[in-house]
Chains A and B, each alone.
Chain A
Amino acid sequence: MIQIKNVHKSFDDLAVLKGINLTVNKGEALSIIGGSGSGKSTLLYCINAIESIQQGQILVDDIDVHASHTNQDKLRQKLGMVFQQWNAFPHLTVLENAALAPRIVKKMRKEEAIEIAKKELIHVGLGDKLDMYPTKMSGGQQQRLAIARALAMRPDYMLFDEITSALDPELVGEVLDTLRMLRDDGITMICVTHEIAFAREVSDTVAYFHQGVIEEIGPPEQVISNPQKQTTQHFLRKVL
């Protein structure tokens, strides 16, 4: 379970998160929507301890993410994260990309790491690209590689930060299909996304972020199909 309790975060004097409260249970899918600058990506960075917070608390399976005694490297093994920019490591093949972290972080035997990496890569449909270098692949394929690479760490939670927004439109579909598949596998995930239709389809809960606060939260039928707040209605009219 991920618990976010009254989290405040600012960059210098710019307040980005102003008291966020959220809970994501095992097996749930949460989508976060909202305009740029609403703080939605920052929240993911805070959950993954890439960014610090000024106030409040984030608990991942009851581990306090920002407590000084927390081993954040260890904690990140619980949290798989995929970024907007597909960060395929250009000096490694597709298979090596996915097998590296299990081998050096989880100290698996090489064969075991390769086994797991292969399985995840086949799962996201890259089984025929194992020995390729990622620079030769499309953005959609590289993004699927990034997903498999994160999954190979067998994380308990997946964090997706606008993973389709840097893709050419014709490549968005294949990545969303991969996410749907993970959803069917029952993986717990938080998706920051611009794909409203996708959010409606896969999420248990949708949160609309506006200027650092959660303006509206609830099941997609409510937040997306029947928004209560004016700001939400306004936002949805613009993007739909």
Chain B
Amino acid sequence: MGLSLFTPLSWNDAGFILTGIWNTVIISLVAILVGTLLGLIVGFIRSASNQLVNALLGSILDVLRSVPLIIQLILFSTYVGAIGHPLPPFAAGSIILSLYAMAFMSEVFRGGFNSVPPSMPLAARALGMNAWQTIIYIRLPIGLRTVFPSWLGVALSVIKDSALVSVIGYMELLRTSEQLISRTQQPLEILIGVGIFYFLISYPLSLYGKHIERKMAL
């Protein structure tokens, strides 16, 4: 009768938890990076193109923003499996999380590009700059100057939303802790630890974003 099914949390679990943390960090970074790059391109195209292209792109992005991430993850990983090209959880999760990040970041960047007064590129052209130089030296840097706080907000939500990739079997922090919970039956301690981890990443960065925002308002 002395045998127990459950073994309490111990230092031996540290490596397991660290792997979970690492996986959360890495998939978040990939999604933020790819999402930012794609978001920049899409945001710029939307700010520079005609209404038709804009409406078309807008409706695709709208779908990405209006369908819960968890459904997108399940659909995508099931779909690639069903057509015979199953992807490992990390790849499937990175793709969907990146597209999801792109959908929000492109809006942030588009807002930035639209806030550049049209007289700025005009003045650049009058100085003899060609269309590309005007984009690289004038429109991009001016458009991106003010968007950092909003970009940071999206990046932080991507980190938090990365927890959802656990549903398709990716061993990120929350799924790691779920497994620990079912073994140790100590949900409160483990969950609070997980919460503190996310908080410690997110809170200082959000404070920094607010600080920059306030500085820019002056």
B is a partner of A? yes
Q: Which residues of A contact B (CB under 8 A)?
A: 48, 50, 73-74, 76-77, 79-81, 83, 85, 87, 89-91, 100-101, 104-106, 146, 149-150, 153
Interface centre among A80, A83, A91, A100 (most CB of B within 10 A): A91
Q: Are A87 and B141 in contact (CB under 8 A)?
A: no
Total count of chain B residues near the partner, CB < 8 A: 18
Q: Which of B82-90, B91-99, B120-128, B183-191 contacts A (4 or more CB under 8 A)?
A: B120-128
Knowing A91-B141, A91-B142, the reply to whether A85 touches B127 (Cβ < 8 A) is: no
What 1/0 mask marks residues of chain B from 131 to 156 whose CB sits below 8 Å from any chain A CB? Answer: 00100011001100100000000000
Closest A residue to B138 by beta carbon equals: A89
User: In the assembled complex, how far is the CB of residue A91 from the closest CB belonging to chain B, in whole angstroms?
Assistant: 5
With A73-B130, A87-B119, A153-B127 given, can you name 19 additional A-B contacts, CB distance below 8 Å?
A: A74-B128, A76-B125, A79-B126, A81-B126, A85-B119, A87-B117, A87-B123, A89-B123, A89-B124, A89-B142, A91-B145, A101-B124, A101-B128, A104-B133, A105-B128, A105-B133, A106-B128, A146-B123, A150-B127
CB proximity of B165 to chain A, nearest CB, Å: 37
Judge whether B61 is part of the interface by a CB distance below 8 angstroms. Answer: no
* C-alpha gap A76/B122 in the complex (Å): 12
* Closest 5 pairs (CB-CB, A-B): A87-B123, A101-B127, A77-B128, A81-B126, A105-B128
On whether the beta carbons of B122 and A50 are closer than 8 Å, the reply is yes
Chain B nearest Cβ from A147, distance in angstroms: 12
> Quick check: A105 and B129 within 8 Å, CB to CB?
yes
B126 and A76 contacting across the interface, CB-CB below 8 Å: yes
Residues of chain A with a CB closer than 8 A to B129's CB: 73, 101, 104-105
Q: CB within 8 Å of A: which of B74-122?
A: 117, 119-120, 122
A residues less than 8 Å from B133 (CB atoms) = 104-105
Q: Give the residues in chain A near B127, CB-CB below 8 Å.
A: 76, 80, 100-101, 105, 149-150, 153
Closest to A104 in B: B133
Summarize B's interface: helix, strand, loop or mixed.
helix
Q: Which B residue sits closest to A146, measured CB to CB?
A: B123
Q: Is the CB of A87 within 8 A of B125?
A: no
Q: Closest CB of chain B to A139's CB: distance in Å?
A: 14
Closest to A76 in B: B128
Of B126, B128, B138, B142, which contacts A50 at CB under 8 A? B126
Can you list 29 contacts pairing A with B, beta carbon distance less than 8 Å?
A73-B125, A73-B128, A73-B129, A73-B130, A77-B128, A79-B126, A81-B123, A83-B119, A83-B123, A83-B126, A85-B117, A85-B119, A87-B122, A87-B123, A89-B120, A89-B123, A89-B142, A91-B141, A91-B142, A91-B145, A104-B129, A104-B133, A104-B137, A105-B128, A105-B129, A149-B127, A150-B126, A150-B127, A153-B128
Residues of A within 8 A of B141 (CB): 91
Q: For the complex, what is the distance from the CA of A89 to the CA of B128, rounded to whole Å?
A: 15
Which residue of chain B lies nearest to A150 when distances are taken between CB atoms in the complex? B127
Question: Which chain A residue has the least Cβ–Cβ distance from B129?
Answer: A105
What residues on A are CB-neighbors of B120 within 8 Å? 87, 89
Chain B contacts of A91 at CB under 8 A? 141-142, 145
For B131, give the chain A residue with the smallest CB separation: A73
- CB-CB under 8 A from B130, the residues of chain A are 73
CB contacts (< 8 Å) of B137 on chain A: these are: 100, 104
CB-defined contacts of B119 to chain A, threshold 8 Å = 83, 85, 87
Q: Which residues of B sit under 8 angstroms from A104, Cβ to Cβ? A: 129, 133, 137
With CB as the reference atom, state the residue of chain A lying closest to B142.
A91
Measured CB to CB, the closest approach of chain B to A130, in angstroms, equals 19
